[in-house]
Amino acid sequence: MEFKIGDLIARGEFLCACGKVHRPKIKKAIIGEGVISSLPDEIRELGGTKAFVICDPNTYKAAGERVEKILSDAKIPHTLYSFREGHPEPDEKAVGSVILHYDSSCDIIIGVGSGVVNDIGKIVADVAHAPYIIVGTAPSMDGYASGTSSVIRDNLKVSVNSHCPDVVIGDLDILADAPMHMIQSGMGDMIAKYISIAEWKISKIINDEYFCDETANLILAGLDKCVKSARGIARRDKEAVRAVMEGMVLSGVAANYAGVSRPVSGMEHYFSHVWDMRMVEFGTTADLHGIQCGIGTIDCVKVYDEIKKLVPDREKALAYVSAFDYEKWSETLKKWLGHGADQMIINEQKEKKYDKAAHAARLEKIISHWDEIIAVINELPSVTELEKLFDTIGAPKTVDEIGVSREAEAAAFPITKDIRDKYIGSRLLWDIGELENVQKIVFPV
């Protein structure tokens, strides 16, 4: 499937064969060399007359200074807010600080940055009811076209609804100059989609979950472009960087199409979430989102390689689930996540992921459709292929390289099934009573 991200967004909303009306939400993605100069036109097109610009010291150097000059030359007044520290945490303090400095005579918000600045910019635009443009400084994560922000609230990493950027400006001269670790992070966030798409397909088989072929194929096409560009990443080739940036924007569009995060995140993301939650709670080490998702992807393929060797056994599965003790399990959640576990335990009361009658019905579906499930797993790349790909782009492949302990890696695996109400590999293994067996094989500690 060939696609051009600009054409895809320009297509606007349409009725898809899956039965849903798909909306991209974002109005425009401008990706190319020198495109930052289009900023004044985009501001005027959105009706902006005075801009509130948000950045941090690093993104100011990367593009904020240019943005100020472009605005001055175009005679567009602006107020600049820059975080004092280079890597602000997206928490109450950071969001509150921007709001306290907000200049209410402004009528458009411009974020200059990537992950954190964009997440906060989307919240400020939402609160101010103002249009929002993000000038990307690194193709490091896939939140450029999404209407949610990943933040830390009450010490918990949560996703809150915010304002989807109206326009993304991805100037390749700036993006190709981003720290290499951030470009690798974007690749990791994209490679993660192998797992998220496979798990979406598996859940469709087992739970008759809503699924859209067109959306899944778009993501796989964007992913394929990134994989083919891997060699160019290390030498900062602009077309390779373009592939990653387009993949990041495409991911947001695909999630908006589906109305759920299925096309863009699965079990691999939940490894990363566990490590992030532990950082917030216990001060342990964590790395960039996409770097962790990349390592999580390799871990997930190892898990699926074990699933391929199994044949579900009805008696064994029913006995396992009947002996399962949620109280005891919630103690394990608390041990590894501290306060972060509280909301997960509350969520289980309405999600009922461990309901035994629902399990029995699911198990029958799993047993009768096992060949189909294995066929989906067989489409995944091998561990060797992934490791080669990571070597090509120079990204870390193991938790050892990012300072996450092997214990935290092993512990994260069964916890992935409690992060969201989403049917993923660890839940499939719980359903067939093989979760701990596979944990021991893949994550020996």
* Chain residues that interact with Zn ion, rule: CB under 5 A: 16, 18, 189, 212, 214
Burial of 328 per CB tally in 10 Å (0-12, 13-18, 19+): exposed
Taking the least distance from each CB to Zn ion, the nearer of 16 and 318 is 16
State the nearest-atom distance from the C-beta of 24 to Zn ion, in Å: 12
Report CA Rg, the chain. Answer: 22
In the bound state with Zn ion, the residue whose beta carbon lies nearer, of 185 and 439, is 185
Q: What are phi and psi of 417, to 5 degrees?
A: -75, -10
Three-state secondary-structure class, residue 202 = helix
**Cβ 204 to Zn ion, closest distance in Å?**
13
Query: 274 Cβ partners below 8 Å, 6+ apart?
Result: 336, 337, 408, 411, 412, 415, 416, 419
When the beta carbons of 261 and 439 are compared against Zn ion, the nearer one is 261
Enumerate the H helices of 309-369 as residue ranges: 314-323, 326-337, 340-351, 356-368
Cβ 91 to Zn ion, closest distance in Å? Answer: 19
Q: Which structure tokens are listed for 174?
A: 């700036």
| H or E segment to which residue 113 belongs | strand 108-113
CA separation for the pair 311, 170 (Å, rounded) = 47
Closer Cβ to Zn ion, 259 or 338, answer by number: 259
Q: Which is nearer to Zn ion, 131 or 266 (CB)?
A: 266
CB of 271 to Zn ion, least distance (A): 12
Bridge partners of residue 440, in order along the sequence: none
Least separation in angstroms between CB 326 and Zn ion: 29
> Which residue number, 119 or 189, has a Cβ lying nearer to Zn ion?
189
Closest residue by Cα to residue 123 from 156, 146, 106, 154: 146
Q: Between the CA atoms of 353, 356, 362 and 363, what dihedral angle is there, to the nearest 10 degrees?
A: 130
**Which single residue is written with the structure tokens 């991805």?**
170
Closest distance of CB 293 from Zn ion, Å = 5
CB of 289 to Zn ion, least distance (A): 6
H helices of 60-141, in order, are 65-73, 92-100, 115-128
Q: How far apart are CA 375 and CA 362, in angstroms?
A: 18
Residue 429 and residue 436: Cα distance in Å, rounded? Answer: 9
Residue closer to Zn ion by CB (options 254, 321) is: 254
Are the C-beta atoms of 182 and 138 separated by less than 8 Å? yes
Smallest distance, Zn ion to C-beta of residue 214, A: 5
CA 195 from chain center: how many Å?
12
Residue 219 CB, shortest distance to Zn ion, in Å, is: 12
Of 13 and 436, nearer to Zn ion (C-beta) is 13
Using CB atoms within 10 Å of the CB of residue 324, give its burial: 0 to 12 exposed, 13 to 18 middle, 19+ buried: middle
Burial 131-170 (b: 16+ CB within 10 A, else e): bbbbbbbbbbbbbbbbbbbbbbeeebbeeeebbbbbbbbb
Q: State the amino acid at position 215 in one-letter form.
A: T
Closer residue to Zn ion (CB): 179 or 338: 179
Residue placing its CB nearer to Zn ion in the complex, 137 or 261: 261
Nearer to Zn ion, 98 or 300 (CB): 300
Q: How far is the CB of 265 from Zn ion (least distance, A)?
A: 6
Q: At what angle do helices 289-308 and 406-419 cross, to 10 degrees?
A: 80
Cβ 176 to Zn ion shortest distance, Å: 21
